[in-house]
Structure 1
Amino acid sequence: MEEPLVPLVPMSHTAHIRSHRKPRRSASTMAMRAGVAGGILGSVAVAGASASAYAAEPVTQTIELPTLTADVASQVAQSADAMQQTAANYELQAERDAATAKAAQQAAADLKEAKAEAKKKAEAERRAAAERATRAAERTALTSKSASASTSTSASAPASGSVATVISFLKAQLGDAYVLGASGPNAWDCSSLMQAAYKQVGVDLPRVSQDQSTVGTEVSLSNLQVGDILYWGAKGSAYHVGTYIGNGQYLDAANPSKGVVIQDLSGYPATGAVRVL
């Protein structure tokens, strides 16, 4: 009998090549690998959770740390401020102590100077009092002499000794003070001194310098005689007067800083002169 013919099935052109597909793994192998993978994943999960837990702590610390740092910084700043204030207080106290010491030294120096000045002033006053007493005695003697002379001479024509009497009276007032409006015995202005001096010999002069410049006889400055009255300013409106005492000098109550003094005509030339003796 002939065997039945088996139909030929065309073969694939790759049939002779071994299959590239991986052989199937057995269930046990897959289960084992799944268990291992599960354990690894579980470990990873636990580790991740732990890492997350550990990572969460710095968040809390990071939030609290600036607060702690700010508190410490504030305390440090306050301490620094306190130290700086203390240093400033010490410096201020040192300055105050130095100022107090300096003030005490200055006060001591001022006190010493004041004592010396007071002593000097007292001595000057003592000398001035002695000089005033001497001048007072001289004035008394001159007054007595002029009174006796006036009884024997005419007021309009004094004796030749009258000039010496006037000059002696004027020199007795040297060192007296100049006070505007004063008329003796220890303080004068220019015209009151002239009035008092010439009154010693019976010549009554007006009180003010303007009027005194118009009395007697006008004389030139080149022909002056001792006892002539000098004036400064225009005749009839003179602002100052004095008496010529010879040798280019005159005596007057000059001003508050000089008082009654003798001066040179060259230093302060007069405007004109009148003669009453």
Structure 2
Amino acid sequence: MSHTAHIRSHRKPRRNASSLAMRAGVAGGVLSTLAVAGASGSANAAEPVTQTLELPTLTADLATQVAQSADATQQAAANYELQAERDAAAAKAAKQAKADLAEAQKKAEAKKKAEAARKAAAAQAASRSSQRTTLSASASSSTSTPSTSTATGSAAAVLAFVKAQLGDAYVSGGTGPNSWDCSGLVQAAFNQVGVSLPRVSQSQSTAGTQVSLSALQPGDILYWGGAGSAYHVAVYVGDGMFVGAQNPSSGVVEKPLSYDPPSGAVRVL
């Protein structure tokens, strides 16, 4: 018998496969348990995060508030724009009303002036009618108005000059030698005898001594309109006749006083 026969071997006994498998299974179970526990622990650790699930709700509320604020801002802008349009329309209407008022006042003033002119023309026509009657009666009397045959000196020269222009054209502003306006002809006629007259009829109607239409003498200046505001002049040539640059259609003509009775007369000779 060997001296070592009774000595227990110091080698560790071999583990058989089933034992190893059992241990591996146990270890696997333990690891599985730990994994489950770890997962559970991780889940427990994530619980505070679970509370933040309310954030989407808060965010939706905030979005709603922002949308409502945007709507309110947009509505305010629309209201402001509408008010601005109304103000602009009101300003335009006020401006138009002011323009319409000014136009109405202008038309009223024009109508007033036209009415005044009509009345003045009617009064003047009535006056001329009265004068025509007076002049007709005066012309029938041999002692009322002397004939051209009695005109002498400067008066005769004036009459000769205006009669020499009969048939010439009437041109506004004309002063001869072949076209005249009424005051240009009268001024030129009296220049022949050294009498300087103003250029326009208004001034010529006050250039001499006022005389009655029933006491006219050849060479007197006849005027139509008021003294100082006359619009036409001519030269009385006797026998109830006058010579003047009448208008563009007539030119320089000789007409009876009854054709267009004058308003008055002045004597400068």
TM range (shorter): 0.3 to 0.5
TM-score, length of structure 1 as denominator length: 0.42
TM-score, length of structure 2 as denominator length: 0.44
Higher relative contact order (CA 8 A, sep 6+): 2
